[in-house]
Amino acid sequence: MAMLEPDVADLWRRPRHPARGGRPRRTSINGSGMGIKELAERLGTTHRALRYYEQVELIRPARNAQGARNYEPDTRRELELIVTLRRTGHSVSEIRAILKGEDVGDDGVRSKVFAALQARLDHLHEQTRHLQALLNQFQ
């Protein structure tokens, strides 16, 4: 049996997973894409949340040749907005209504996001007033 060349043998034994010293994940052809785990870490969320947003059709990430999700800059901006809106208490249906039919960078979406955030803030102020009144009863 012929011996493999050393560099080929090293490739053969090297773990495939990047966290274990393997090859890095491939990105898009132009190099602007990002994998799901890296993006989840950058956004401070989980990869399961990103998959969920895809499942409920808030986003449609590109796929690379191997079928892995590949998040391009436009999709990453949409996800930043989605994650921010979720953190401020907006439901998926509310987010869908905000994003429906318009690009994230569009002024129409900015005004919708502003209005949604203002409405949420007004609601939180009202809740705060009720909680303060309740606390005052116990003092």
Does residue 81 belong to any structural domain of this protein?
yes
Does residue 21 lie in a domain region?
Answer: no
The structure tokens 């949340």 sit at 49
Q: Rounded mean pLDDT of 72-85?
A: 91
C-alpha span between 27 and 81 (Å, rounded): 22
- pLDDT tens per residue across span 85-116: 898 888 898 888 888 755 445 566 677 778 87
What pLDDT, on a 0 to 100 scale, did the predictor assign at position 106? 55
d(Cα 70, Cα 39) in Å, to the nearest integer? 10
Is residue 22 situated within a structural domain? no
Q: Does residue 11 form part of some domain?
A: no
Q: Is position 15 within any domain?
A: no
In a domain, 124, yes or no: yes
End-to-end CA distance of the chain: 86
Query: Is 0.85 surpassed by the pTM of this model?
Result: no
Helices 36-43 and 73-87, packing angle to 10 deg: 40
Report the CATH number that the domain containing residue 45 is assigned in CATH: 1.10.1660.10
Is position 10 within any domain? no
Q: How confident is the model at residue 53 (pLDDT cuts 50, 70, 90)?
A: very high
pLDDT of 10 reads 41
**How many degrees, rounded to 5, is the angle at CA 46 between CA 44 and CA 52?**
125
> Would you say residue 19 lies in a domain?
no
Q: What's residue 29's pLDDT?
A: 46
- Give the SS3 label for residue 100: coil
**Count: domains in the chain:** 1
Q: Tell me which residue range forms the domain holding 32.
A: 27-137
Does the pLDDT at position 4 exceed 50? Answer: no
